[in-house]
Each structure stands twice: as C-alpha cells, then as structure tokens.
Amino acid sequence: MSIQSFHPPVRTLLGPGPAEVHPRVLAAMSKPTIGHLDPAFVQMMDELKSLLQYALMTKNNMTMAVSAPGSAGMEACFTNLIEPGTKVIICENGVFAGRMRENVERVGGVAILIKDEWGKPIDPNKLKDALKVHPDTQVVAFVHAETSTGALSDAKTLVEIAHEFGALTIVDAVTSAGGCELRVDEWNIDAIYSGSQKCLSSAAGLSPLSMNPAAIERISNRKHKVPSWFLDVGLVTAYWHGGKRRSYHHTAPINNLYGLHEALVMLHQEGLENSWDRHRYHHLALRAGLEAMGLKFLVKEPYRLPQLNAVLVPEQVDEAIVRQRLLNEYNIEIGAGLGDLSGKIWRIGLMGYSSNEKNVLFFLTALDEILASMKAPIFKGMAVDAAARAYA
C-alpha cells in the first residue's frame, strides 16, 4: 500500500457549512505552533476573547471558544446549566432542537417540546402558553437561525418571554453569528453558543460560547457536579480567564485558534453590521436569480435567513442528482434537506467568505444548465441576468 499526501479538490462551498475559508485565515493557521501557555499565545487568547465579545455584541466576561465544534458548545451550555430534574422548554422548528432535547435528557433534565412547522419561525405565543402551563420551567432553549430550514426566529422576543416567567435562556447561534443581527447583551441572552465554520468563516472545530452573570450564578449554585469534566466552564475558566497566571486545563487547538483570531480580525475590519448587510445583499441577488428561474423558497420572506437559503426542488427532479452533478461537473457543494424535508429542498449557503457575487453568479449559471439539461420546469437563461440586475 502506498499512501501519498492528501490534496483536496478545490470546491466552491455553498452548503449549510463549512463555508470557504479566506486565504488570510489559512495563512494564519499555517504559522508556527507555540505552547498553549506561552505568554504570546495567552495574549492572543485575550485578543480572541475581545473579538468574540465584539462578534456577539456582549461584554460577558465568560466568553471563550470551546475547543471543539458547535455541538460541544451546545453540550457545554446544557451540561452546565441543567441538573437532574430541571424543567426545560425547547422550541422545536427544525432538526437541531431535537439535539437540544437529547442533551437535556442525557443530563437528567425534563424536556418539554413546543413544536412549530418546519420552515416557520418559533411562535412566541406558543412559548408563552407553555410557560403558563409549566410555571416552574427554569430554562428555555431555542435555535435562533435554524440551519435545517433557513428560518430565523425572533430571539429578542423569545428571551423577553422566558425572563417574564423567570426562566434563563440557551440560544443556538451556530448559523446566525456574523451573518445576521445578533445582540447578546441588548437582548439579554443568558447563554449562547456558535460555530467557527459558518458565517465567521474560519475552520471547523471551535465553538464560541458566552454566558452572562445570571447563567454563571446558576452554575455556581448547582447541587450536583457538572457531569462533563472537559466542558465544565468552572474548570476551563482558569485557563481562558486566569490572566497572566493561567492554569492548565487542556492543550488548546493552537493553530485553529490562530485561524479564528484572524477571521474575527477580518470581521472587525469589515464591521459587524456591514457583514450582516453583505450577507443580505448577496442573498437578494441569489433570490432574484432563483425566482427568475421559477424556483420558490421554503421560508416566507420576513423569516428567511440570508445566509441559508432553503429552496424547494421542482417537481419530477431528483435533487440528489442535481447536487451530484453540481459537485462532479462544477465543484460546487450545496446541502440536502434533513429529516422531514429530505428530498424536498436544497440548502444553499452564502456564509462568511462564501457570500460573494462571484459565487452567486457561478452557482446560478451551473444550476440553470443542469436543470435545463434535465428538462426541469424552469425558465432557462433568466437567472444570471436577474441576479446581475439585482447587483446593478
């Protein structure tokens, strides 16, 4: 057996994540490795913390990057804030609320699901009604930007309702951070987690996390030890927030943190609100092209994520063949539907560095050619011109 060095193909990543990684970020990750307690690395960690605070619009001292993907950020929130018997209301309007429920149940909490139709935002009235029925609820959890459907929920209102009934909030911002409006302090979110690989446009494998004083107070008053040693924020605090005298907790993914630092520097240089506007700008051009082609979106316009576009597959079209041809003939990756939406939608991501005019026009050209060759019921040759007019 002769195994050679791996050389990945060059893809245009327009799926639900990861997004393309900017050359500046890749260059940062290739810099020399130093020790995870090296004074220079500790200084970089302090900068990274402040950059994350900027990206999440928070002053929370407990702001850091968990040394694992967004799923670990989710688990860190639940394992620290939920104890056996804790009642948690989970708002479900897609795949990822199911993972929240699994986390609650695995740590002995009591999960109460309130369901909305996939493709629609979470209904605040349903949450309020559920809290009236379960006034002893201690935590409300929901996904801000549901990656499986492309639906955006009103996080500010949901948090206000939870607090009205004395419950803390856990918010999934894996797809929203950096890509659309998110104001942790202004909206008074108690605990939030995200991922490095989507709109922050760094490499996968890190999970930004932030908790406010109310969440930290709940953790400090736990009756039971946090069931995960690695994800116990009380233990990792001495590493991330120990000043110059940091204590060893784990060997951080050093070069990956270099990459996230550079990605956040770039976000700061662009301006957070400019990043939100850029994602919407390219979404509108993509929308113009897809609608000119005759395709329709799953999510209604007011609740539609600009960075994750769920598009209905035309009748008599095998969506998997389209995705396969996009990959094999054009090196373009898009995502399939999950769960109840499997086979019914494509998920087209315009996240981070992937959200640009070149990608939008290239994708529309490729999709138009493939669907036309399959004799799909579309308006051939209309998409690119419509997107170009949107840009003009």
What value does the mean pLDDT take over residues 74-93? 98
Cα 328 from Cα 41, distance rounded (Å)? 41
Confidence of residue 239 (pLDDT cuts 50, 70, 90): confident
- Quote the CA–CA distance of 234 and 137 in Å, as a whole number: 24
For residue 230, the 8-state DSSP code is T
The predicted structure's pLDDT at residue 1:
81
Cα–Cα dist 224/82, whole Å:
10
Tens of pLDDT, residue by residue over 29-61, are: 999 999 999 999 999 999 999 999 999 999 999
pLDDT of residue 135: 97
pLDDT in tens, 114-134: 999 999 999 999 999 999 999
Cβ(94)–Cβ(151) below 8 Å:
yes
Residues of the chain with CATH 3.90.1150.10: 271-391
State how far the Cα of 272 lies from the Cα of 391, in Å rounded to an integer: 21
pLDDT tens per residue across span 300-340: 999 999 999 999 999 999 999 999 999 999 999 999 999 98
271-391 carries CATH number 3.30.70.20: no
The amino acid at 377 = P
pLDDT confidence of residue 29:
98
Asked whether the predicted pLDDT for residue 164 surpasses 80, the reply is: yes
Q: Which segments of the chain belong to CATH 3.40.640.10?
A: 23-268
pLDDT of residue 241: 77
What pLDDT shows up at residue 248? 85
- What's the pTM? 0.96
CATH architecture of the domain formed by 23-268: 3-Layer(aba) Sandwich (3.40)
Nearest to 128 by CA among 99, 93, 89: 89
Helix (H, G, I), strand (E, B) or coil at 210: strand
